[in-house]
Every structure is written in C-alpha cells, then in structure tokens.
Chain A
Amino acid sequence: MTDKYVVAIDQGTTSTRCIVFDRRGQLVSLAQQEHKQHFPRPGWVEHDAMEIWRNVERLAPRVLSRAGISLDQVAAVGIANQRETTVIWDRLTGIPVSRAIIWQDTRTDSLVHALASRPGASNISEISGLPLATYFSGPRLRWMLDNTPGLRERAERGEVICGTMETWLIWNLTGRAQHVTDVTNASRTMLLDVRSLDWSPRALDFFGIPRAMLPAVRPSIGGFGTASQGFPGVRIGAALGDQQAALFGQTCFTPGEAKCTYGTGSFLLLNTGTELVRPENGLLSTVAYQIAGAPAAYALEGSIAITGSLVQWFRDQLELISSAPEIETLARTVADNGGCYIVPAFSGLYAPYWRSEARGVIVGLTSYITKGHLARAVLEATAWQTREVVDAMNANSGLALTTLKVDGGMTADNLLMQMIADVLDVPLVRPLAVETVSLGAAYAAGLAVGYWPDLDGLRSNWHIAGQWMPAMDPAVRSAEYANWRRAVERTFDWIQPA
C-alpha cells in the first residue's frame, strides 16, 4: 500500500508555497517561490497575478519530487491565500486586465472617505461585519471599475470577471472551469451578507459592483472541482483565507479558542462558534470556516497591518541587518529600548484604531540611541500591537485570554515571543507546526475528501512545541504600555484630506 498525502498551496503576500503533509499533519516537503512586489506610487502595492499562477505551476512538480511521491498519492489539494487582494481578468483570454491590488494598498482612501458619508454606509458595516476601510476588496473593485475605461461595461456583460487569489488559482487549476470563492474570502469583500453567506444586493448596489463579475460563493470545506492544471486529477477540497486557515490549522474548533499568526502582518482570531458576535473596539467579525452541509463558524478578528514587514523594512530599506532573523541578534546587543518607540503605521493603523490617515513614527530619539535600540523597538512594536488587540478582544468577548496560541515565521524569534508573553502577562504556546496556514488548508482539504475522519482526529495531532512564560515587572509593563500609547497618538492625523 502506498501512503497518501495532502498538498497545501499557501499563496501569501511575499511568496507562494506548496507543502506536502502526512497523516500526522507533519511537513514532508516544501517548495517556495517569491514574487515581485510592485510599488508604483506611495501607498500602492500590486502583484502580477499571472506571475503567481506560473509560480504555482512551477512549484507543483517540485514539491512532489522533493517528497518523492507521485500525483496519485495526493489525496487532495487545499488553498490558503492572502486575503482581500483583488484581481480582474478577461474571461476568454484568462489575462488579468491589470495587476492585482493587494491588501496593503491604500489607494482607495479618498473613495472610502467619500463612500463613508453616503447614506447607507453604516448598514453596509452591519451587513458585512466590517468597518468601511481601504483594507477590504469591495472598494478596490469599485476603484478598478472607475479607473479603467470601458471596464464597467465589460463587467456588466460578463466579459471580465474578478476574484481574490483563491478564486484566481482555482479558476486556473480547473482549466478555467470553476469561478468560485469560499465564504471566508468572500467575507472580506464588504459585499457578502455575513449572515446569509451570499452576496448582498444592497452592498453590491452601494459599491456599484455588477453581480455578473463575481464568483459563486461556496463553503470553505467541500468541493471546488478537480484540478486539470498544476495537480491534474487531484480534487481541490478546500479554500480559506490564510488567517482562517491558521485558525483551522491550530485546531481552534471550539468557541473561545484563539490564535495569533505572526507574518507580514499579524492576525488574532477568536472562534465565536455559530454565533456572529457584534464587533466592537475596532475588531472585525468574519467567517472562520464552513464545512459543506453545516452552519458556518464565525470569528472575531484583530488585524495588525505591519509586524514582520517592519522587520523586512529594517532589513531592505534601512539595511541594518542582512537577514530577518538577525534582528534578534541585533536587539540582544542592548538591554532595553533606550526610550525609543517605533509605531509602524505605514498604511494607517488597523485594529483597534482603523485610522487610514495615520503614518509611522519613530519617537524618543536621542544621541544615546543605537541600531540595537531600534531593533528592539521594531520587535516591541509587534508585542505592543498584540497587547492592544488582546485588550480589545477581551473587552468585546467578555472573556479574559489565559494563553495565546502563536504560529507563523516570527515565532522563531525567541526574544519577540518572550516580549509578547511579558506584555500580555499570559503564557504563549507554539504548536508542533509553525506552518499553520498551510496546515489548516491541508486539514480542511483532507477533511473534505475523508483523508482525516473528523475534527477530533485533527485535534489529536496538536502538540505543544514551545512555551514562553511571562516574566516582566508589572510596574515596568504599565509604564512601557503608557509610553507606547503616547507614541501611537503621535501617528494620528498625519495625512490631510486632499
């Protein structure tokens, strides 16, 4: 008998990865390809969707050969993707009409500002569970339709179609047979009625989006057809937004379970069960996952725009380190931040503030400050931003977080993990799988095809791989938190309305 495996495609912000997992949820092989980041203007960030699809085509055979397995040993493929990144393409030629506009892009700032003052704006937040912000796909689609001559007419005639990255990949994987999205990705557009789980006619009307260009909404775990490209003959069992996939990969299946994934940005999601909790304090309500034939599970989400990308900026733009992990080495050359704070409001602030006009600051500079202090301030920014989101989450849910499950590449940074445990004053737990985004997509796809029998089977794969206990003087904690908040206030109102 030959063993079977599940493959995850993790289409992320900076790279695309294919990972083969075994029945215990352990990584067997990995292949990764970065794609180009386009910054045509300040605040604009784009990806070439065609480049991303070609990367998937290239990675598929590579990851299988590294695992030493053949296509018929792949039980299913699951997709996890960067969320809110939006692309429009020609239905006939399959060629994108322009580059994909990614989630960090703030070009819809003035459009969102104008839409916010229109009647019905608060209804849209009620329907979608999201605040009106540049972060989400709906305004982005509207911007593309407004700024490309003739595009709206072509969209109305169904000649061009749109989607987030999972839609684009499934369309290509199935040889252009399936134009579909899943409920988690759809719940990030502001166009979905988060209760009925279908496109909201009122939201489509509000944003002026023709229904004809939108994909069909499907449960996250079920069927998205069979691939004819990339992994020909293999069933596509699941698709989820990357953060929802990480929640699934951390096996947070019970209401009250939460995880935080530390990547380019960081995202804390709390499972709230089949109940949609009304979001407060700058949190979002979002669909966590939906298994075909069952009601959807919801989550509260606290989104932080810039965490890992601050380290990348430190590496690539300031050139103070040559690789991201070296930030820890540099930060350990000093004992504290020396009074320096960095608030990375590069594209405004997300939770709990949602201020798109904010821009980043470095405060507390004196001639005493070295690059070591700056490195510390970079890491502390991630820790304090987590604290703000956890505070909002505790207030919103009425529960106090007792431990935080963490994952993502930044969990390799021990100093950062200790800082987060210190500022939260709760233990941090890392599971025996850092790649929980991919693992979640694999779990979901495997569940869809019966590779894993049920959620309990998945839960038994979860083990603690590392733990950090809080060890910070409470007086230092509160003094530092006060300083951080004063630093945050200094980012507000930087961009003036044109």
Chain B
Amino acid sequence: MPGTVQAIERAAAILRTLAGGPGRLGLTEIARTLDLAKGTTHGILRTLQLVGFVEQDRVSGHYQLGGALLHLGTSYLDINELRSRSINWADPLAARSGEAVRIGTVLEGRVLVVHHVFRPDDTFQTLDVGALLPLHATALGKVLLAYRAGGPVPDLEPFTRLTLTDPRALATALEGVRDAGWASEIEEFLLGQAAVAAPIRGYGGLVVGAIGISGPVERICDSRYRPRAPLVAYVRDAARAISRDLGATR
C-alpha cells in the first residue's frame, strides 16, 4: 500500500470540521478539535485559503469553507451555457472587427464550434454551429491546446504547406501562445484565410473555450503578414469580458 500524505489528511480533516461546524470557526477551536499544533493548523489553513477552499472573515479572523469548494463539482461548463453567456460579447467583436466570430471548445480531439456570428456585411452566410475543426490548424484550436494540460497530441494532418505538422514546431507555437495570451493561424488551414483567438476562462481561471475571428488574410494581417494589433486587442477584450462574466477574475 502506498504511503499517505499527512498534510492532505489534516487538510481534509480541517475541511470536514469547517463543514460540520455551526458557522465560522477560530484557529484555536480548529486546532483543539483536531488535536493539532496551532502553527501546523495555521499553515494548512493559509494554503487552503490560497487555493480558495477556505475563506477568512476579515473582522473576526474566523474561518469558513470557501467558494471554490462549492464549485469543485461544477467546473464542467455546458456548451449551450457557454454560448448563452458569450453571445453579448461575440456580437460587439463582430461589429468592431468586421469579421466572423466563432467560439469553440474541445470535443474528442477537435474544436467544436459552439457559437458563430456572421461577418457583419449582410452577405449570405451559413451558421456552422456544431462543425468540427482541427485543433492544430486553427487559432481556436491552438488556444485550446495551449491551455489544456496533458491533453493527447492530435493527429497533425496537413491542410496547407504552412500547417504545423511537426510536433516540436507545434509545441514551440503553443509555448508562444501561452506567453502572448492569444493565438493566430495564417493560411495553415485554408489558403488565403487567417484567424486570431484568445482563451475564455471560467471560474478559477480554468480555460473553458476560445473565441476568435477569421477572414481573408489581407484583412486580418498587416503588410508584414502579422495579425493587425487592433484586431488582436478586440479579440482579447471580448475574451476577457466573457471570462469576467463567467467568474474568472476573483
């Protein structure tokens, strides 16, 4: 039998004590209940407080269960809820950028399009909600890959000669996405098309989806073949606004 970690056992006992108590509990009370040294108890409480599992009342200094604990079982975000919560911010992004907007999540190694706003030029377009896109060859997909810890490496199918098919090149690109906080894709999926995307964060900062714009490369990119800075800013602003509504910044 593998050994147990005493600190985790003690942390669990503290959480149970707080859950079973009548309300907030003081440090001395918790330490006495569990027959622990006050210093040890305080250290564990501090750590639990940092991860959001415990909250300390500012006035009394007493402890209670934290909000993050309540959300532990509900970190899964329904895709229809993601659309519903994003819709108000996806529209202004389309209006400001003049491009089509898509929101995606991961489904079985691909990007599932959960929301699509038409390019606002009143031309005929078709809703592609429900469509599946490659993770490694789209801006949405790169964002989702970059923030998905330990996910399986997808099949790196080539779509154009610019598609990242070398796992090491992809890993470098994803590192760049994490550094910059946004991703781009320039003629890697379709010739003549480019895209920019940024992460949507849910409760506690977990990435639950990506939002991005896509369009002809000459509109998305500048003369140096780089995404235009204002477009990147619009995408990141929209992603942040949705994240804030989803409770990411606390």
B95 within 8 Å of A (CB atoms): yes
With a cutoff of 8 Å between Cβ atoms, the chain A residues found around residue B122 in the complex are 463-464
With a cutoff of 8 Å between Cβ atoms, the chain A residues found around residue B95 in the complex are 24-26, 432, 463
A interface SS class: mixed
Contact between B118 and A325, CB atoms less than 8 A apart = no
Q: Please give me the residue from chain A that is nearest to B93 by CB atom.
A: A26
B interface SS class: helix
With a cutoff of 8 Å between Cβ atoms, the chain B residues found around residue A254 in the complex are none
With a cutoff of 8 Å between Cβ atoms, the chain B residues found around residue A312 in the complex are none
Please report the C-alpha to C-alpha distance between residue A323 and residue B121 in the assembled complex, in whole angstroms: 33
A159 within 8 Å of B (CB atoms): no
Contact between A465 and B120, CB atoms less than 8 A apart = yes
Please report the C-alpha to C-alpha distance between residue A324 and residue B96 in the assembled complex, in whole angstroms: 29
Contact between A466 and B84, CB atoms less than 8 A apart = no
Q: Kindly name the residue among A30, A327, A433, A463 whose own CB sees the greatest number of chain B CB atoms within 10 A.
A: A463
Among the 9-residue stretches B73-81, B134-142, B196-204, the one with 4 or more Cβ atoms under 8 Å from chain A is: B73-81
Q: State how many residues of chain A have any CB contact under 8 Å with chain B.
A: 29
Contact between B120 and A463, CB atoms less than 8 A apart = yes
Q: Please give me the residue from chain A that is nearest to B129 by CB atom.
A: A414
B110 within 8 Å of A (CB atoms): no
Q: Please give me the residue from chain B that is nearest to A327 by CB atom.
A: B80
Chain A, 10-35, CB within 8 A of any chain B CB: 24-28, 30
B180 within 8 Å of A (CB atoms): no
With a cutoff of 8 Å between Cβ atoms, the chain B residues found around residue A325 in the complex are 78, 80-81, 83-85
Contact between B91 and A433, CB atoms less than 8 A apart = yes
- B250 vs chain A, min Cβ distance (A): 16
Quick one: CB contact mask for A183-222 with B, threshold 8 Å, 1 for yes?
0000000000000000000000000000000000000000
Contact of B116 among A328, A329, A435, A466 (CB under 8 A): A466
Contact between B81 and A432, CB atoms less than 8 A apart = no
Please report the C-alpha to C-alpha distance between residue A409 and residue B80 in the assembled complex, in whole angstroms: 12
A126 within 8 Å of B (CB atoms): no
Contact between A434 and B91, CB atoms less than 8 A apart = yes
A467 within 8 Å of B (CB atoms): yes
Contact between B91 and A465, CB atoms less than 8 A apart = yes
With a cutoff of 8 Å between Cβ atoms, the chain B residues found around residue A27 in the complex are 88-89, 91-92
Contact between A328 and B127, CB atoms less than 8 A apart = no
A143 within 8 Å of B (CB atoms): no
Please report the C-alpha to C-alpha distance between residue A323 and residue B116 in the assembled complex, in whole angstroms: 21
Chain A, 420-435, CB within 8 A of any chain B CB: 432-435
B217 within 8 Å of A (CB atoms): no
Please report the C-alpha to C-alpha distance between residue A323 and residue B246 in the assembled complex, in whole angstroms: 13
15 further contact pairs, Cβ within 8 A, besides A27-B92, A327-B80: A24-B95, A24-B96, A28-B92, A325-B84, A326-B80, A328-B80, A412-B87, A432-B95, A432-B118, A435-B88, A463-B122, A464-B118, A464-B122, A466-B118, A466-B127
Q: Which residues of B contact A (CB under 8 A)?
A: 74, 78-81, 83-85, 87-89, 91-92, 94-96, 116-118, 120-122, 125-127, 129
A-B contacts, 17 listed (Cβ < 8 Å): A26-B95, A26-B96, A27-B89, A325-B84, A326-B81, A327-B80, A411-B87, A414-B83, A414-B129, A432-B120, A463-B118, A463-B122, A464-B122, A466-B117, A466-B118, A467-B118, A467-B126
